[in-house]
Structure 1
Amino acid sequence: MKPVKIKFGTDGWRAIIAQEYTVDNVKRVAEGTALWLKQNGGTRVVIGYDCRFGGELFTETTARVFGKHGITSLVAPGYISTPMVSLGVVKTGADLGVVITASHNPASYNGYKLKSKLGGPSVPADVTAVENLIPDAVPEDLPTYAELKEKGLVEEHDFEKIYIDHVHQGFDVDLIRNSGIGIAYDAMYGAGQSAMMKLLPEATHLHCEVNPSFNGQAPEPIGRNLTELSEVIKNNPKLDLGIANDGDADRIGLFDADGDFVDSHHILLLLLMYQYEYKGIKKGEVILTFSVTDKLKQLAEQYGLEYEVTKIGFKYIAEIMAERDVIVGGEESGGLAVSGHIPERDGIWIGLMIAEYMAKTGKSLKDLIKEIYAKVGSFNCNRDDVHVDNDRKWEIVKQAKENPFKTVGPYQVTDVKHIDGTKFYLDGDDKWLMVRPSGTEPVLRVYAQGADEAEVRKILDAGRAEMGI
């Protein structure tokens, strides 16, 4: 039987456990990684796993392949978040990080992410180089995990403690804990649970236990997946802030004191405002992916800061952060990063920064958002993921690029931009519709920005009618 061709997507390799994600295929991916490391003089790798099924097994499997090549694996005594792996690479001076995770995907998936020595996603060229070295044959005659431990080719490090110590250096955790701000934290059964229970023991903790099925809910921190957290906040007047993380705790979901979801567009604006106006960070760039609100560009301009719009995928932001001074970088799907930390998405770090912002100013999240609106105007954003067959998907994408709409429902198209998909500006700059294909599924992502929720819905519906979906 011909072996499966293993392809890395926008954020690593992901596949269904026991279908394509098998011990043998993990051995093959690890072999490609080991060969790439040896070509580049690498000898030490941090390997971490989250709370998914088989994490420890797949970590040991990876370490056994590395050990055969004389590469030392640095592992944690239990599950850890993706940012803990990335920070661990930097703090130990390792050459690479490997995370056994499928991030926010459903429980049936696991995956394999690569992290660079700079503490963020490996650059696309390195990922492609590893992918090209993955053999068809499964590596055999591997040493046992116990043998590697005896030889010193497996070292145990407490990466969670390293991370928590780093948090205490970056934040006034005591101020947050003593501020009187009531915080509810939803781990979504993911790898952020242990650290957050230690950092904020007085918080209300939801789903902070290991459940590899995630109780049947994909651990993606978006509004519709977090209704329980929203209700808990609504029903408890002492709660002012809700923080949720995905399965490997690199993404964030946020709620205000009314239990209303605060999306990444608003969080990015808050992060920029806090750092520029309150922390006095006046230098650096703002990096945003194509689907993020243009209000972020507007605020950067007000502050006299340079900005750049990238393709969608955090790896493009990380690549820039590794080389240039970036105040804030982020994407619409909850992956956000700030200066003073590693060039990595980190849901715990971002949640603590918002909590610290509230604690230092004594203002509610709603009040802080009102301050943003006073600067750039109020707005709302949303996205529909529309299932269409692949042929139709690419037909719509081609039409949007080659023969763009002149109108969308009652709106005039005043400008069109193509970076990663197509963005149609409607009646000026404040309203837009964007369409982009999923690279891995028969799905079209349709995004919109408008003045409020009702207008966004109207734009999305008009755009879908125009596309016939």
Structure 2
Amino acid sequence: INFTASHNPAQYHGLKYSSADAGPALPEVTKDIEARVAKIIAKNGPFPAPAAAAPYAQHASAEKVNLRENYLKRLEELVHFDTLRKAKSKFVVDTLHGCGAGYLDRSLIDHGVTVQAMRTDRDCLFDGTGPDVSQENLAPLRTAVVDSGATAGLATDGDADRFGIVDRDGTWIQPNLILALVYDYLVETRKWKMPAARSVATTQMIDAVAKSHGQTVFQTPVGFKYIGQLIREDKIALGGEESAGLTIRGHIPEKDGILACLLVAEMIAARGASIGEQILGMFQKLGREFWPVRENLHLTDEQKANAVKRVAVDASTLLGRKVVSIDRTDGAKFVFEDGSWMLLRLSGTEPLLRLYVEAESAGASAELTRDASAWVLKN
């Protein structure tokens, strides 16, 4: 059981149950746990019984373990540190006062990579900004990268399962694009001729990369537990979500921000090009660009209810655009004739409606975002 608010503010603190293989539990497991808790509360009330009075107390046993060295050793098996060492790159590591400190920075330093570490001290309030690896929260990392002339900035969120990347010129890189690049890199370097997996809200640039390698993509609902199951079954080379979660074949069926940052660092070292240069090169290779956007719409309950009703209609045109397909894997995703798309879904962790869009240019994505937002807010 993990006590965490994940990447959210402190008021979202709660319990997260992980299964024996370190992966997130599937819905049927968590529903079973919730049902058991409800029965206990109904019988004994919401307050726990004294330890001595608990029927299981005398039989309970626990083993205290420190998996740090096992984990660091596993990273050595997954990451080509020799490639990193030979490149003589310098990275700024920002652990955002979270539990990634002493892992990401140490992994690099122990393998001869020059590292400038920041925000490694514990602060459960995260400088008062929050533990998310957002562009706003990583502003100090951006400054450090530019001022030090580093190759890139690597960040992990509060519980180190999400990654944040800042390019050498200070540009914060969209996690969507990182997923596509790392998948391409793994297929090339590990020779994993296997599909990828992404959530319905994640960039279809991954699909284009997969197609270029003669592979396919598994699309899942939002929630890493669905991707984790595909890792358990060894069906994919990489699985990722637009919210900066990633894992790979042979690793735990859960997102890992430390591993993600190390793979990005290795990719930069191996290809000898900045992330920005690699993105442009990939756009040229695929014959089109991908500009994903996510907006969080804070709506009244009435507005959310109206939006849900409106997207329930199978429209042939929407926002003045022809709809070629509608996907209801999670929320409602409308794919338009030009390949752009929009998805509306209620957040599973916060009281808001999420809007995702993707188009072939920054301008087209911005226009689609404006049109979709106005459509949602329209009475």
For normalisation by structure 1, the TM-score amounts to 0.73
Alpha-carbon offset, residue 403 of structure 1: 5.0
What CA distance in whole angstroms lies between the structure 1 residues aligned with 2:10 and 2:245? 20
| Contact 1:269/1:372 (8 A) holds in 2 | no
Aligned to 1:158: 66
Match of 2:352 in 1: 443
| In 2, Cα distance between equivalents of 1:256 and 1:350 | 15
Larger deviation: 165-174 or 311-320? 165-174
Contact 2:314 2:326 in 1 (8 A): no
Give the equivalent residue in structure 2 for 1:204: 116
Corresponding residue SS for 2:169: coil
The Cα shift of 1:347 comes to: 0.3
Relative distance call for 1:188 and 1:379 in structure 2 (3 A) is same
Query: 1:5 maps to what in 2?
Result: none
Residue 127 (structure 1) aligns with: 30
Distance 1:264 1:230 in 2: 16
Superposed, 1:55-454 pairs within 5 Å as 98-134=1-37, 135-136=40-41, 137=45, 138-142=47-51, 153-201=61-109, 202-237=114-149, 239-282=150-193, 284-376=194-286, 377-404=288-315, 406-408=317-319, 411-429=321-339, 431-454=340-363
Letter in 2 for 1:247: G
Kept in 2, the 8 Å contact 1:185–1:205? The answer is yes
Structure 2's unaligned 5+ residue stretches are none
Q: How far is 1:402 from its partner?
A: 1.6
Contact 1:388 1:443 in 2 (8 A): yes
In the TM superposition, residue 440 of structure 1 has moved relative to its aligned partner by: 4.7
Q: Does the 8 Å CA contact 1:190/1:208 hold for their aligned counterparts?
A: yes
Question: SS of the counterpart of 1:350?
Answer: helix
Structure 2 CA distance for partners of 1:441 and 1:269, relative to 1, 3 Å: closer
CA deviation after TM superposition for structure 1 residue 248, in Å:
0.6
Q: Deviations over 1:340-366 (max 9, x none)?
A: 211110000011011112222323222
Task: Check conservation: 1:288, 1:310, Cα contact below 8 A.
Answer: yes
The alignment partner of 2:103 has SS state of helix
In 2: Cα distance, 1:174 partner to 1:272 partner: 20
Are 2:129 and 2:137, in contact at CA under 8 Å, matched by a contact in 1?
yes
Residue identity opposite 1:106 in structure 2: P
The one-letter code of the counterpart of 1:291 is: A
How far is the alpha carbon of 1:305 from its aligned partner? 1.8
How far did residue 152 of structure 1 move?
Answer: 10
Structure 2: which amino acid aligns with 1:349? L
Distance 1:440 1:251 in 2: 16
Residue in structure 1 matching 2:364, options 455, 459, 467: 455
| Matches of 2:325 and 2:314, distance apart in 1 | 13
**Letter of the 2:238 counterpart:** V
User: What's the secondary structure of 2:370's corresponding residue?
Assistant: helix
Answer yes or no: is the 8 Å Cα contact 1:393–1:442 preserved in 2: no
Return 5+ residue gaps in structure 1 as ranges.
1-97
Residues in 1 aligned to 2:234 and 2:79: alpha-carbon distance in whole angstroms: 23
User: Do the aligned partners of 2:143 and 2:170 also contact (CA within 8 Å) in 1?
Assistant: yes
Matched-pair contact (CA < 8 Å) for 1:414–1:428: no
State the number of aligned residues: 364
Instruction: Output the CA distance in 2 between the equivalents of 1:450 and 1:343.
Output: 30
- Give, in whole Å, the separation in 2 of the partners of 1:126 and 1:439: 17
Q: Quote the Cα distance in structure 1 between the aligned partners of 2:315 and 2:97.
A: 43
SS in 2 for 1:402: coil
Aligned-pair distance for 1:315?
Answer: 0.9
Cα shift readout 1:26-55 (whole Å, capped 9, x = no counterpart): xxxxxxxxxxxxxxxxxxxxxxxxxxxxxx
Q: Which amino acid aligns with 2:361?
A: D
Q: Which moved more, 1:304-313 or 1:169-178?
A: 169-178
The one-character-per-residue Cα deviations of 1:371-422 (angstroms, maximum 9, x if unpaired) are: 321232222111110110122212212211225372325x443433222112
Please report how far the alpha carbon of residue 339 of structure 1 lies from its aligned counterpart in structure 2 after TM superposition.
0.9
TM (norm. structure 2) is: 0.89
Aligned-residue offset at 1:437: 1.4
Runs of 4+ in 1 over 4 A off after TM superposition: none
In 1, the alpha carbon distance for the partners of 2:358 and 2:140 equals 27
CA distance in 1, matches of 2:301, 2:19: 33
C-alpha separation between the residues in 2 aligned to 1:221 and 1:247? Answer: 9
> What are the Cα deviations for residues 142-184 of structure 1, in whole angstroms up to 9, with x where unaligned?
169xxx9xx9934332212221111122223344245222211
Compute the displacement of 1:209 (Å).
0.5
The Cα shift of 1:247 comes to 0.8
Is the Cα contact below 8 Å between 2:324 and 2:335 reproduced in 1?
yes
Contact 1:422 1:434 in 2 (8 A): yes
In 1, the alpha carbon distance for the partners of 2:279 and 2:223 equals: 26
> What is the deviation of 1:211?
0.6
Q: CA RMSD in A?
A: 2.3
Distance 1:155 1:299, change over 3 A: same
Q: Distance in 2 between matches of 1:216 and 1:173?
A: 35
> What letter is aligned with 1:265?
N
CA distance in structure 2 between the aligned counterparts of 1:292 and 1:443, rounded to whole angstroms: 18
Which of 354, 359, 375 lines up with 1:466 in the alignment? 375
